[in-house]
């Protein structure tokens, strides 16, 4: 049985589906958070506060203008939790379906151009993929919630109901790379607790790699030479960035008494690792972001901009985009005509898509940063940090979010929305609309550099 034509058309226009779905979820979330029952004091939240929080939750960002634990009631926190789950799981499912559709088209195009246009995704395929994504997500969240609940109850003296609620909330928020927490200092109080910090960091990494990568690793983890280009770039680039981030954090902040230097020596390496994981795009912070040195803030900007894996819950331009461009540069410096990743050659179209996504993202961040600079008197470095964090749906902040004027906060709302749908929809739309040109113009080289 084939999928109905409207669903097929929707899959072939993912930008429209994702944008509409996220917009509707934000509208519903804003309406629910604006109810008096959603606030701890029983007063109706302002529409900007409700809109900002709903957008941040649906786009799994974590930026907030009010403290989650004290401003919202249990109903408001539950709404935020459901919005996080819907946003993360929905994006992950849709992204996985798009990856599946793209892989079918690319694979069939190698065999037969005609088959490419006639092959369709079956209803069984979609049901199977959605079921696996949901089961995978809920299973990981359940394991993480159980580990955190035990630690909160046995190690931090919380009552079992409170420990269970806190464990589930932080588990869902971590796996979906949302960064919402129930403490004003996020994870700073757990900086010397490896059980809590490493469990949350592990959930962030698992959610950020993406379901297609985990599904392939489950089958071929012992045979790296058989990995696809997607899995190879995602795994290797993620590993390099995590190691690089950890080393940089140790070197830059080890002597800073307000951040890593204030942590006991036996816990510093773990603290540095967790701090390197969070810009990938989790939003939790185990160190005081406002106390980081300027060079660390700038390096964190870079890590946030890169983000996590495709078809995962992380944001940013994705490690696949960054990794592929690194392979392109490597091939160009070696004078090679083709770009090879492992035993595969990367099509020129993929290279153009990666370059387009990266440059469009840079343009958006630059424009938003200039706009924010005109709307507030904050320093350029913290404005850039806030802008990149919003666009990459990270949620880390130096603490200026709540003090920004309303127009600047609305800029961040737009950035979170664009950043959540941007890289995926741009790349997939270009790939799905790719058509061969029936003629070629004369070639002419130009000077570059």
Is the pLDDT confidence value at 376 over 60? yes
What is the reported pLDDT for 71? 95
Q: Would you state the pLDDT for residue 437?
A: 64
* pLDDT value for 89: 80
pLDDT beyond 80 at 114: no
Query: Which tens digit of pLDDT belongs to each residue from 325-362?
Result: 999 999 999 988 889 988 889 988 888 888 888 998 99
pLDDT category of residue 425 using cuts at 50, 70 and 90: low
| Mean pLDDT (whole number) for 318-327 | 92
Residue 3 has pLDDT above 50, yes or no: no
Judged against a pLDDT cut of 80, whether residue 29 lies above it is answered with yes
Three-state SS for the chain is CECCHHHHHHHCCHHHHHHHHHHHHHHHHHHHHCCHHHECCCCCCCHHHHHHHHHHHHCCCCCCCCCHHHHECHHHHHHHHHHHHHHHHHHHHHHHHHHHHHHHHHHHHHHCHHHHHHCCCEHHHHHHHHHHHHHHHHHHHHHHHHHHHHHHHHHCCCCHHHHHHHHHHHHHHHHCCCCCCCCCCCCHHHCCCHHHHHHHHHHHHHHHHCHHHHHHHHHHCCCHHHCCHHHHHHHHHHHHHHHHHHHHHHHHHCCCCCCHHHCCHHHHHHHHHHHHHHHHCCCCCCCCHHHCCHHHHHHHHHHHHHCCCCCCCCCCCCHHHHHHHHHHHHHHHCCCCCEEECCEEECHHHHHHHHHHHHHHHHHHHHHHHHHHHHCCCCHHHHHHHHHHHHCCCCCCCCCCCCCCHHHHHHHHHHHHHHHHHHHHHHHHHHHCCCCCCCCCCCCCCCCC
Percentage with pLDDT > 70 across the chain: 85
pLDDT one-digit tens code per residue, 264-303:
999 999 999 999 999 988 889 999 999 999 999 999 999 9
Whether the per-residue pLDDT at 16 is higher than 90: the answer is no
Q: What predicted TM-score, i.e. pTM, was given to this entire model?
A: 0.87
């Amino acid at each position: 049985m084939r999928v109905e034509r409207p669903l097929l058309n929707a899959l072939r226009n993912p930008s429209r589906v994702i944008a509409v779905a996220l917009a509707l979820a934000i509208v519903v979330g804003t309406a629910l958070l604006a109810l008096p029952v959603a606030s701890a004091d029983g007063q109706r939240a302002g529409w900007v506060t409700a809109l900002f929080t709903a957008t941040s939750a649906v786009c799994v960002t974590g930026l907030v203008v009010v403290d989650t634990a004290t401003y919202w009631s249990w109903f408001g926190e539950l709404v935020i939790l459901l919005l996080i789950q819907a946003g993360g799981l929905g994006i992950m499912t849709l992204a996985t379906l798009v990856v599946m559709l793209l892989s079918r088209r690319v694979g069939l195009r190698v065999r037969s151009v005609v088959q490419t246009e006639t092959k369709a995704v079956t209803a069984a395929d979609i049901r199977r993929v959605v079921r696996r994504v949901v089961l995978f997500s809920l299973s990981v969240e359940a394991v993480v919630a159980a580990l955190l609940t035990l630690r909160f109850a046995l190690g931090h003296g919380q009552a079992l109901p409170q420990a269970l609620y806190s464990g589930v909330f932080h588990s869902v928020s971590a796996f979906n790379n949302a960064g919402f927490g129930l403490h004003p200092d996020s994870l700073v109080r757990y900086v010397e607790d490896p059980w809590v910090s490493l469990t949350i960091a592990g959930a962030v990494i698992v959610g950020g790699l993406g379901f297609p990568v985990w599904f392939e690793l489950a089958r071929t983890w012992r045979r790296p030479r058989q990995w696809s280009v997607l899995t190879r770039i995602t795994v290797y680039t993620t590993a390099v960035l995590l190691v690089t981030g950890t080393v940089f954090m140790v070197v830059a902040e080890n002597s800073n008494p307000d951040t890593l230097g204030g942590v006991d020596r036996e816990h510093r390496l773990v603290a540095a690792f967790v701090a390197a994981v969070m810009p990938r795009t989790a939003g939790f912070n185990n160190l005081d972001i406002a106390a980081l040195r300027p060079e660390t803030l700038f390096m964190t900007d870079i890590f946030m901009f890169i983000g996590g894996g495709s078809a995962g819950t992380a944001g940013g331009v994705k490690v696949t985009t960054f990794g592929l461009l690194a392979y392109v540069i490597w091939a160009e410096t070696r004078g090679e005509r083709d770009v090879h990743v492992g035993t595969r050659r990367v099509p020129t179209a993929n290279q153009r898509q990666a370059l387009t996504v990266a440059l469009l993202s840079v343009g958006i961040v630059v424009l938003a940063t200039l706009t924010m600079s005109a709307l507030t008197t904050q320093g350029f470095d913290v404005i850039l940090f806030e802008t990149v964090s919003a666009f990459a749906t990270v949620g880390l902040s130096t603490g200026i979010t709540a003090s920004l004027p309303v127009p600047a906060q609305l800029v961040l709302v737009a950035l979170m929305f664009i950043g959540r749908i941007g890289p995926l929809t741009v790349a997939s739309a270009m790939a799905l609309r790719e058509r061969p040109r029936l003629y070629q113009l004369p070639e002419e080289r130009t000077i570059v550099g």
